[in-house]
Amino acid sequence: MKTPQLFGTNGIRGIPNQDLTLDLATGIGRSIGTFFKSSRIAIARDTRISGDMFLFAVASGAMSTGSDIVYIGVLPTPGLQYYCRENHIPGIMITASHNPPQYNGIKAIDSDGTEIDEATEVKIEDIYENRKYKLADWDKIGRYSYDNTGIDLYMNSIITSVNSKTIAESNLRVAIDTGNGASYYTSPEILTRLNCHPVSLNANPDGKFSSRNSEPKPENLSDLISIMKTGKFSIGIAHDGDADRCVFIDEKGNFVDGDRSLALIVKHTVKRGDSVVTPVSSSDALSEICTEKGAKLILTRVGAPIVARAMIDNNVTIGGEENGGIIYGKHQYCRDGAMTMALMLDLLARENKPLSELLRDIPEYYMIKTSVPRKREWEEIKELITKKFTGKMFDFTDGIKIYDTDGWTLIRPSGTEKIVRVFSESRKQETAKEYNKEYETFLKNL
């Protein structure tokens, strides 16, 4: 099957007025409108400065095909996805997710609330590349309107998906860092409605992400970690720019890797005979948990839409990625930071134990993640890797996963940036570092 050239792992991304131009945005809007042939298309954006510019460009393109555009505001990507699912209409999200503020992007959402699959991306790109637009006559051009019900619809759906009464009675104190992104209102408000006594950081919309980098990594969460070290809070929570991801800080101020939070939620969600879906980049801790619980682990390529599609195909309730992106099928089939937040609060309330204690039951693995600039074509890099490390066991599900004596390393090209990602895991931190350094050095020296 032909692979998409514009759509990466999670939509089209680039720097405004450089590789992401208004002409491209308008053309993609026309292509999405032409493909869906829908009378209505929902649209939303995150807080980035260029958000309005691309929203109107994409919306104009879609309206030129005869589709009415319904703008539902600044809210998380999963908020738009839930609106699309409930109203049975496609959608367009203007966001670059965790990328730095100078980036923006375009995601297309299907009418069931899932991100479009690769086959659909290829069809939309074909319409764009060959200008196969179906433009409407002057009196059939689409209209633009605003619907302010989407935010409450989304927040209520989260609250009713968990045991809100148990959470409300648990008297949890939560510190939350929304990073000036799309969840600046929704996540603190959900916490308030769950009686969680939230204290918010960076909960104002700032398209420059002035307070911290959008990606919720430990080095970007120093303020939240400092607050958690005071011992006054039950849990710390942080989102990325469009809040489809969620990471946690325990009550002692320790950052919890996304693979451990995923394994913990899976441990307390699945039953014998269930299945769990995750990419090949996820920790072996999840594999151990699934074996312990008698559940089947299904491995996929990296990318939330790919994981979500596999969950739908296999009727799976829980899945996700190691970066804090958990998918809860009983709510909707997409990464959802607020849903992940609510699932963790539900777990804390039910177990009545601190997060650090609950994590003791999760197998201890160490994962080192780095990246290097990609200055050659990926196929050439892949060939050089296999020649250099002949004799080792390879898995080509996504990129190259190299198995060593007591660990593994996954090397794959990023779908959103011109870099090669290097993930190394072992039961010993020093071993994981050694593996990562070995492959990172090899890539840098190409």
Which residues are annotated as catalytic? 97
Amino acid at 73: G
DSSP three-state, residue 35: helix
Torsion sign across C-alpha atoms 255, 261, 267, 268: positive
Whether the CB-CB separation of 96 and 67 falls below 8 Å is answered with: no
Interacting residues of 6 by C-beta distance below 8 A, sequence separation 6+: 12, 24, 28, 121, 125, 128
Whether the CB-CB separation of 9 and 414 falls below 8 Å is answered with: yes
Amino acid at 90: P
DSSP three-state, residue 382: helix
H-helix segments, 323-366: 337-351, 355-358
DSSP 172: -
DSSP three-state, residue 21: coil
In 240-391, the DSSP E strands lie at 246-249, 255-256, 275-279, 296-300, 318-320, 326-328, 366-373
Interacting residues of 368 by C-beta distance below 8 A, sequence separation 6+: 423, 424, 425, 429, 432, 433, 435, 436
Tell me the C-alpha distance between 85 and 97, whole Å.
20
Whether the CB-CB separation of 28 and 56 falls below 8 Å is answered with: no
Of 345, 367, 369, nearest to 355 (Cα)? 345
Neighbours of 357 (CB within 10 A): 11
Tell me the C-alpha distance between 100 and 248, whole Å.
21
Tokens of 280: 């090949």
Q: Torsions phi, psi of 5, nearest 5?
A: -105, -30
**180-207 burial code (b ≥16 CB/10 A, e <16):** bbbbbbbbbbbbeebebebbbbbbebbb
DSSP 2: P
